[in-house]
Copies of this chain bind each other. A is one copy, B any other.
Amino acid sequence: MDSLELLEEHRLFNGWQQRYRHDSGSLNCAMTFSVYLPPTADDAPPPLLYWLSGLTCSDENFATKAGAQRVASELGLALVIPDTSPRGENVPNDEAYDLGQGAGFYLNATQPPWDRNYRMYQYISEELPELMHSHFNCNGRQAIAGHSMGGHGALVIGMRNAAQYSSISAFAPIVNPSQVPWGRKAFSAYLGDDETTWRAYDSCALIARPGPKVPVLIDQGDNDQFLADQLQPARLAELARQHDWPLTLRIQAGYDHSYYTIATFIEDHLRFHAAHLGL
């Protein structure tokens, strides 16, 4: 069993906000993540909602800014909030904000120098769930959500592992990374020039596959500066319609790409997941 080091702990809405460090076997570096345990966690093992953050974020942005713990406390839902990439002096990096540390894109890199550490897909879908279930009292049910790059991650990981996640939600996700500047830059570096390998990490490709369909909720602000060039969630909504995938896309008038939008609608997302998690 991997060891976890508790870095900090705060009482919050009658539960506990905690921050841990551990050595990740997937990523070959030390990683930090945050957890919120609802007050009922000791008596009734909670399900887990994984939150994947966007470019430049760490595990702290969602923990401090979204206000999600109020509703998680009420519902008896635990939150798991990982970092957005491997980290450290020995981990390859890039000067740009959208490549390297803080920009893992939730995939398993195949190209040097990234391939030794940048395996966030494996970390989120395998290592972190195993770690959670071996160290915390949880009921085995899971859902996944995220913002922007993390919305992409939630869609890809949730769609490819339908047996593991009861529901998926996203704020302003990068739904078609193969076709937009953020995704093309990252996928070229991490996965190489053969674009057929990119399809495994593109929700617009995954949604056309046969197999079980995990329900999806997406919120998108229409005042989001990245909407036209990087996001375009209507592409995924149209494909969902064609393939009978249960997906709800809500366009929120006046809202932007910031955490203020997440704070406004996170309660709806948690209640959506709670219904599918059997809470």
Contact = CB atoms under 8 A, between A and B. Distances in A.
Contact of A263 (B12, B223, B252): B12
Interface residues of A, number: 23
A252 B28 CA distance: 41
Contact of A12 (B14, B64, B70, B264): B264
A69 B264 CA distance: 9
27 contacts: A10-B255, A10-B256, A10-B258, A10-B261, A11-B252, A11-B254, A11-B255, A11-B256, A11-B260, A11-B261, A12-B260, A12-B261, A12-B263, A12-B264, A13-B263, A13-B264, A14-B264, A17-B260, A64-B64, A64-B65, A64-B259, A65-B65, A67-B67, A67-B263, A69-B263, A70-B263, A70-B264
Interface in A68-102: 69-70
Copies in the complex: 2
Contacts of A223: 11
Interface string A1-13: 0000000001111
Nearest to A252: B11
Given A11-B255, A14-B264, 12 more contacts: A10-B256, A10-B260, A11-B221, A11-B252, A11-B254, A11-B256, A11-B261, A11-B264, A12-B261, A12-B263, A13-B264, A70-B264
